[in-house]
């Protein structure tokens, strides 16, 4: 086997990305404190043609050199918007017929591998603060809580890892890959 060169990967240009059909998923970052995590979510969102990212509360916004370090230009391709209150974003998305999914460990949560999607639905996926998780008010306003199955000693995954796992799994299910 031979590793492919970047020029052989046939990736979209930024303009092609912006005009392409998106996966019906929007990401909501609820008070994310790490700039590297924010950048990583942008990069993952680019990989799976995510519609938009909402940056809420204390979540920093581009342009920022530390976000850029991990986003590697994805802040230019993925649409984003800042809003101070996460609940306002959730209410707007609900009015636009999005199903709200909080990624959280909660009573009655559905395990990610058991969560069912349909290609007709639009989804907004909420990732919470690295220490406190998704705000309880946002969990209360959600249509679903989804948990990533874990089998080791740690209580959670890093938010950038969680975003990669969840967005890939939802993308795979929606696109029937």
CATH numbers and ranges of domains, the chain: 14-174 (3.40.1280.10)
Per-residue model confidence (pLDDT) at position 36: 98
Confidence check: pLDDT of 119 > 90? no
Mean predicted lDDT score pLDDT of the chain? 97
Confidence check: pLDDT of 77 > 90? yes
Position 48 confidence tier, pLDDT thresholds 50, 70, 90: very high
**Longest Cα separation, the chain:** 51
Cis peptide before 85 (omega within 30 of 0): no
| Kind and range of the H or E run holding 92 | helix 86-95
Q: What are phi and psi of 25, to 5 degrees?
A: -130, 130
Taking the alpha carbons of 142, 148, 154, 156 in that order, is the dihedral positive or negative? Answer: negative
The C-alpha atoms of residue 50 and residue 38 are separated, in whole angstroms, by: 14
């Amino acid at each position: 086997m031979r590793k492919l060169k970047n020029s052989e990967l046939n990736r979209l240009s930024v303009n092609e990305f912006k005009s392409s059909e998106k996966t019906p998923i929007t990401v909501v970052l609820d008070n994310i404190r790490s700039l590297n995590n924010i950048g990583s979510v942008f990069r993952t969102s680019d990989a799976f043609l995510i519609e938009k990212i909402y940056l809420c509360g204390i979540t920093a916004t581009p342009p920022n050199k530390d976000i850029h370090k991990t986003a590697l230009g994805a802040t230019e391709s993925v649409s984003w918007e800042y809003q101070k209150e996460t609940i306002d974003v959730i209410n707007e998305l609900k009015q636009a017929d999005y199903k709200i999914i909080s990624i959280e460990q909660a009573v009655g949560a559905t395990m990610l591998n058991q969560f069912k999607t349909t290609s007709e639905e639009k989804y907004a996926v909420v990732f919470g603060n690295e220490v406190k998780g998704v705000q309880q008010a946002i969990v209360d306003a959600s249509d679903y809580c989804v948990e990533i199955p874990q089998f080791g000693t740690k209580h959670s995954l890093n938010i950038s890892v969680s975003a990669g796992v969840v967005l890939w799994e939802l993308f795979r299910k929606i696109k029937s890959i």
